[in-house]
Amino acid sequence: MKRRTFLSGVGATGAIALAGCSAEPVNQTNTPNQSDNTLTVATYSSFTGDGSAGSWLKSNFESEHDATVEFRTPENGLNQFIQRKSESAPIEADMFLGLNTGELVRADEQLDGQLFATADVEGADSVKSELNFDPDGRVIPYDTGYISLVYDEGEVENPGTFDALLEPDYEDALIAQNAQQSDPGRAFLLWTIHEKGPDSYLDYWRGLSDNGVQILSDWEPAYNAYTNEEAPMVVSYSTDQVYYHGEDVDVSRHQVGFLNDQGYANPEGMAQFADADNAELAREFMSFVLTEEAQSEIAVRNVQFPAVEGVEPGGDFGKYALEPPEPVTFGYDELAGNVDGWIEDWAREIASS
Partner 1 sequence: MALRDGRLLPVGVAATLAALVAVFYYPVGSVLLSAVYDGAQFTLSPVRSVVGDPFYHELFAFTAYQALLSTVASVVVGLPGAYLLARFEFPGRRFVRSVTILPFVLPSIMVAVGFLAMFGRTGLVNDVLGAAGLGPVELTFTLEIIVLAHAFYNAPLVTRLVTAAWESVDPARVETARTLGASPFRAFYDVILPQLLPALLTASVLTFVFTFMSFPIVLALGGLELATVEVWLFARVQSLALAEAATLGAIETALSLGLIYVYLRFEATQLNARGESRGRARIPLVAGPRSLVDPKRLALFAYAGAALVLFVGPLVSLVVESVTTPGGQFTLGYYEFLLAQQASTAAGTVRPLPAITNSLLFGAGALVLALPMGVVVSVVATRDSRGSRLSEALLTAPLAVSGIVLGLGMLRTLVFGTTLFGYRLTVTGPVAIVAAHAVAAYPFVSRNVTPALGSIDDRLVDAARALGADRTTALLDIELPLVVPALIAGAAFAFAISVGEFDSTVLLAEGVDSATMPVALERYTGNRSLGPNLGPATAMGTVLLAVTTVSFVLIDRVGRGWAQ
Question: Of 33-52, which residues contact partner 1 (CB under 8 A)?
Answer: 45-46, 48-52
C-alpha torsion angle, residues 41, 183, 148, 312 (rounded to 10): -10
- When asked if residue 60 is in the footprint of partner 1 (CB under 8 A), the reply is no
- When asked if residue 63 is in the footprint of partner 1 (CB under 8 A), the reply is no
Name the residue among 99, 94, 93 with its Cα closest to residue 44: 99
Q: Facing residues of 116 across strands?
A: 273
* Stretch of 78-86, 133-141, 278-286, 320-328 lying at the interface with partner 1 (CB under 8 A): 78-86
Name the residue among 45, 325, 276, 32 with its Cα closest to residue 138: 276
* Stretch of 19-27, 138-146, 198-206, 324-332 lying at the interface with partner 1 (CB under 8 A): 19-27
Interatomic CA distance for residues 99 and 114, integer angstroms: 16
How near is the Cβ of 271 to partner 1 at its closest, in Å? 18
CB atoms under 10 Å from CB of 101, counted, come to 27
How near is the Cβ of 309 to partner 1 at its closest, in Å? 27
How near is the Cβ of 181 to partner 1 at its closest, in Å? 5
Q: Which of 75, 112, 199, 247 binds partner 1 (CB under 8 A)?
A: 75
Minimum CB distance to partner 1 smaller for 74 or for 123: 74
How near is the Cβ of 89 to partner 1 at its closest, in Å? 4
- When asked if residue 315 is in the footprint of partner 1 (CB under 8 A), the reply is no
Site string for partner 1, 214-233 (x = CB under 8 A): xxxx--xx-xxx-xxxx---
- When asked if residue 3 is in the footprint of partner 1 (CB under 8 A), the reply is yes
- 3-state secondary structure at position 132: coil
Cβ proximity of 81 and 96 under 8 Å: yes
How near is the Cβ of 184 to partner 1 at its closest, in Å? 12
Cβ proximity of 86 and 252 under 8 Å: no
φ and ψ of 38, to 5 deg: -105, 125
